[in-house]
Amino acid sequence: MDIQSFIQKFFAPLLSRADMGFDEVLEEVRRHTILDSQSTYFDWTASGLAYAVIESRIQEILPFYANTHSFSATHARIMGALYEEARFRLTKGLELDDEFVLIGCGSGASGAIKKFQELLGIYIPPATRERLALDSLPKLPKVFISSYEHHSNEISLREGLCEIQKVALDSVGHFCVSDFATKLQACHNDEIIASIALASNVSGIISPFEEIAHTFRHHAPKGILAFDGASSSPYMNIPSHCFDALFLAPHKLLGGVQSCGLLAVRKSLCQNPIPSFSGGGTIEYANDNGQLYVQNLAHKEEAGTPYIIGLLRAALAYQLRNEIGLEHIKRRERVLSHIFLKELKSIPALTLYGHQSETAENLGIFSFNIACVSPFDLSMLLSQKFGIQTRAGCSCAGPYGHYLMELDSLEFTTQQSQKLLCDLLQNPHKRPGWIRISLHYTHTIEDIQYLVESLHKCVKILRT
């Protein structure tokens, strides 16, 4: 069997023709998006949808599935070659330079964040902390985060071997670069890391990544700068000179369902000869007296059976994104966002979080509340009565939610707070939150009109 021909067939163009106009592309993409015909999907920030052409490609290779880590059997060689080609194509599609290695990681960006923290010696399981009696350690690294992080890029650091420095928001609720610079200057003698969301998964605000990178390199030339691209990477790339590590969640892309998380990280940060976990696939040779580890940096950090199908799905999802075209996607998202913002104004007593104007260059992510209407009830009614899929809650961004909703943070030690927290745990619908709408370039203007009309009807029902 010609493995190279097999690879070329698997990674052949996903769009039927290269000469289609963008409107034709959108029509074709909509036809191949797998979604119940009675449903309209506005939950893209949580997860993308499956894509029929990608599912077909996966089905075609499953008869040849085998584990990698072998150069003898044909099927193992095929899957190994496909896996490494997927890694190569992802590296190119994400515009990473040769200083980076791409590592497949567990569940979405959270898996990538955990791997990054392991590489830097920040992550530690609670049981290990207890065993080592690490109640207090001097001179821990300072980790800078934004004020709009997802829980995975904030709470995990609270539990890690580091001290968090949160960068303030400016007067319009955006990342405050001047506060970042001031805080960096105050920590110039410390080990410095920054781990910052490229975009908020609540408000769609995009971080000024070029300014952040310039400021960080100036004040912390030996520091390590990471960006969380979970919400942003379905719609944009950023130059690799801006970061030392990038966390990605390909499952949020169209066609990326069931793909693995990805960590793009500079090779210089992966030089420890011992893997983060010394599992199968990381060992070159072992006997009772010792072991030799593989030299390949990616393989060294992908212990056990790698996420073979997950990485292949990720590669095809990013291939589809790039075939559609990032500039086309960007323009389409802006048009839809502008229309949706104008339509939202027709709903009385609506509080929109984070969006300051119709011209703001945000992602198409909108979180809001409507007076006297529970966001949980609203999301449920939209789904049950109109087939519209949204998401209610805090979007796994509780600290940012307290800022947006102007809520006081509870002190976990007081008896009154403990009673309130217990009530919230037992009654999730009482928790503060919002309804989140995620626009996607495949949406039509009619989809948006249907959504807004349905919102009006739901509000009327829920207020009576």
Residue type, 248: L
- Position 175 scores a pLDDT of 97
Rounded Cα–Cα distance for residues 266 and 246 (Å):
9
Give the pLDDT confidence of 376-400 residue by residue, as tens digits. Answer: 999 999 999 999 999 999 988 888 9
Which one-letter amino acid corresponds to residue 410?
Answer: L
State the pLDDT at residue 423: 66
pLDDT, position 358? 59
34-74: pLDDT as tens digits: 999 999 999 999 999 999 999 999 999 999 999 998 889 99
How many Å apart are CA 187 and CA 163, to the nearest integer?
11
Angle between helices 445-463 and 326-344 (to 10 degrees): 30
pLDDT at position 70 is 86
Mean pLDDT on 438-460: 98
Q: Which domains does the chain have, with CATH numbers?
A: 74-321 (3.40.640.10)
Q: Residue 228 forms beta bridges with which residues?
A: 197, 247
Indicate the average pLDDT of the chain. Answer: 94
Q: Which residues pair with 40 in a beta bridge?
A: 388
Hey, what are 436's tokens? Answer: 């989140």
Neighbours of 323 (CB within 10 A): 14
The answer, as to whether pTM is greater than 0.75, is yes
**Tokens of residue 201, six digits:** 């998964």
Instruction: Quickly tell me which residue has 């929109």 as its tokens.
Output: 352
